[in-house]
A = this chain, B = another copy of it.
């Protein structure tokens, strides 16, 4: 689009500037061993990074921070992939950055300016989730807070805004993808968690990849391989490759 696209480097992986980022996780509710198994499947299927299901809006107070960090560290050891960890309480930042490669800022914290300023000073990439009532202007302004502190590794993530429609929890704003890409050179991701089931999440992830998103953030409980193949295939199409299926094969062989 209009801006020169910037690629973010995260421990050898790249997102943006033509490199599609598939950031996956198992849902938080599952047992640790299942989550690790799904993490391995994601790595085997071409995922770029892992996360800890922090998209969840469930009560963060009942999620023991220590266990969560241990699981993230284990996922990283096991797969060799970089990991993103959700920050829901700013007081957890210090512990978090010892473990993760990317700090994922929850939608509720998107306008916590004190936190944003602090994130501008850390040596970790930042994944900024749009708040459910925040405009794209406000998301870009939040990113500017981090950037102006000197941290240039910021990714933007659309994950749904609140509307009158009751068929799902929030309305995914797809038009945000081309608009954010036009107004910023930062990688633009989409998280389809508001969709009600695996099939819907897949349809929306494929749509995001095809429409030029730089990546997706997703939770998967099953069918990891086929999901990744379809999304990465769509991403390859959108990047203009003439033979997406060969491109996916190449990508998997490289990883």
Give residues in A with beta carbon < 8 Å to B. Answer: 1, 59-61, 88-91, 108-109, 111-114, 117, 131-137, 161-168, 171-179, 182, 192, 194-196, 199-200, 203-204, 206-212, 233-234, 237-238, 242-245
- Of B135, B207, B211, B233, the residue contacting A166 (CB under 8 A) is B135
* A114 x B234 contact (CB < 8 A): no
* A61 x B113 contact (CB < 8 A): yes
- Of B1, B133, B206, the residue contacting A131 (CB under 8 A) is B133
| 23 A–B contacts from the bound complex (CB under 8 Å) | A60-B114, A88-B113, A91-B114, A131-B133, A133-B164, A137-B167, A162-B164, A164-B164, A167-B176, A168-B175, A168-B179, A171-B171, A172-B175, A177-B207, A178-B200, A182-B200, A204-B211, A206-B238, A234-B234, A234-B237, A237-B244, A242-B245, A243-B245
* A195 x B207 contact (CB < 8 A): no
Q: Which residues of B contact A173 (CB under 8 A)?
A: 163, 165, 171-172
For residue A96, give the distance in angstroms from its CB to the closest CB of chain B: 14
* B177 x A174 contact (CB < 8 A): no
For residue A199, give the distance in angstroms from its CB to the closest CB of chain B: 7
Whole-angstrom distance between the alpha carbons of A194 and B178 in the complex?
13
For residue A8, give the distance in angstroms from its CB to the closest CB of chain B: 21
